[in-house]
Amino acid sequence: MALNFKYIKSILPGVILALVFCLFSQGINNVLAIEIFGTPKSPISTVLIAILLGILMGNAFTPRPGMMIGLDFTQQYILKLGIIFLGIRLSFADFIKFGSIAIPLIMICIVGVLILIKLLIKKVPISSKMSYLIAIGTSVCGATAIVATAPVINAKKSEVAYAIANITLFGVIAMLLYPYFAEWYFDNEALKVGLFLGTSIHETSQVAAAGLIYDQQFNSPETLNVATVTKLIRNTFLVILIPLFAFLYNRGEFKGQKYSIFNIFPYFVLGFIGMIIVRNLGDQLYPTGSNNHEIWVNLIEYLKILATVFLTMAMAAVGISINLSELKSMGYKPFVVGLIAAVTVGIISLIYIETLQKFI
């Protein structure tokens, strides 16, 4: 009990800081909308304000080590809880519909990035280990994929750091720009926008944030649903790609490295699916007109609000943790590869969606 209390005490300052940034960002959003623009909605979403504010404050003032414990907790666990709660918005039919469309696109993006990076490293000399890390980080699920892949290819800490910085930089840029680009390009077609955001942005947190930005600015909950489902399906491809990378890099030998599906599987995906089950069971048990229907509807709304708050907190924590000076010191070659890979994923996604637009 004492150990648990000590741990809670250690994470509390960072979690509270992330919550303060979330609330402050919402306040700024309200001021921008009501006082400055005179509109019901600000042209800058709460999530976008939170991450920009986090980056500004995190680089202007160095966070204390004790504060970082809670910020890391927010990025890892509160983020996942927010994503799980997003499942309350979906029906089984939507999940199957979005997933069946997304899987071929995900596979094409993964294969395209792998081929591209294999060709790129002949022109832009970086280590093969770093190329593998950038490839899986870009095509699957960002830093999580990089950290999970590093041991099976014996990557150095410096290579892991470069790859994560790479993914963070271009993922954040995509998160900030792609919602507005997608609105201009797809003209508020929610399914297409969601597919694009879910496949072309690296991190789960970044995809969720981009979906929230789009939803908040263009009133499209379906876009957030599609983007989330697409990204979570991408995450499960870790189970296939990590042993594949180990095979390719080590020529079929794991060189003593232990590999376990249980260690790399993104379990919060199961939580997300579990929340979809809860939603659908609740709708069956408390249909319109039943005694507890209003309570059930209110509970759904509360969970939706919590999901938004948790994701905004997580993005504020991400922003505070981004050290711009570290990004500058890492050299340009890996970033050239990462930039081209990130742009390629986006282009492949656009081509796929345009090719199949008659069917979706």
In this prediction, residue 227 carries a pLDDT of 93
In this prediction, residue 1 carries a pLDDT of 45
In this prediction, residue 13 carries a pLDDT of 92
* Whether the Cβ atoms of residue 296 and residue 284 lie closer than 8 Å to each other: no
> Cβ atoms within 10 A of the Cβ of 25, count?
25
Runs of H (alpha helix) within the chain: 2-31, 46-60, 65-73, 79-86, 92-123, 128-136, 142-149, 157-186, 190-200, 204-218, 221-236, 238-250, 261-264, 268-285, 293-321, 324-328, 333-355
Judging by beta carbons within 10 Å of its beta carbon (0-12, 13-18, 19+), is residue 248 exposed, middle or buried? middle
Spell out, as residue ranges, where the chain has pLDDT lower than 50.
1-2, 252-254, 256
In this prediction, residue 253 carries a pLDDT of 47
Q: What single DSSP character describes residue 151?
A: G
Q: pTM here? A: 0.81
Lookup result for tokens 């249980």: 262
Q: How far is CA 304 from the centre of its chain?
A: 17
User: Can you tell me the distance from the alpha carbon of 133 to that of 13, in angstroms, rounded to the nearest whole number?
Assistant: 33
> Cβ atoms within 10 A of the Cβ of 173, count?
14
The first and second tokens of residue 295, run together, are: 């309570």
Q: Which of 246, 232, 160 is nearest to 203 (CA)?
A: 232
Write the CA distances from 197 to 106, 231, 312, 326, integer angstroms. 12, 9, 17, 27
Lookup result for tokens 């742009």: 343
DSSP 3-state assignment of 35?
helix
In this prediction, residue 252 carries a pLDDT of 46
User: Can you tell me the distance from the alpha carbon of 166 to that of 331, in angstroms, rounded to the nearest whole number?
Assistant: 11
The first and second tokens of residue 128, run together, are: 């093969």
Which residues contact residue 103 at a Cβ distance below 8 angstroms, ignoring those fewer than 6 apart?
233
User: Can you tell me the distance from the alpha carbon of 58 to that of 51, in angstroms, rounded to the nearest whole number?
Assistant: 10
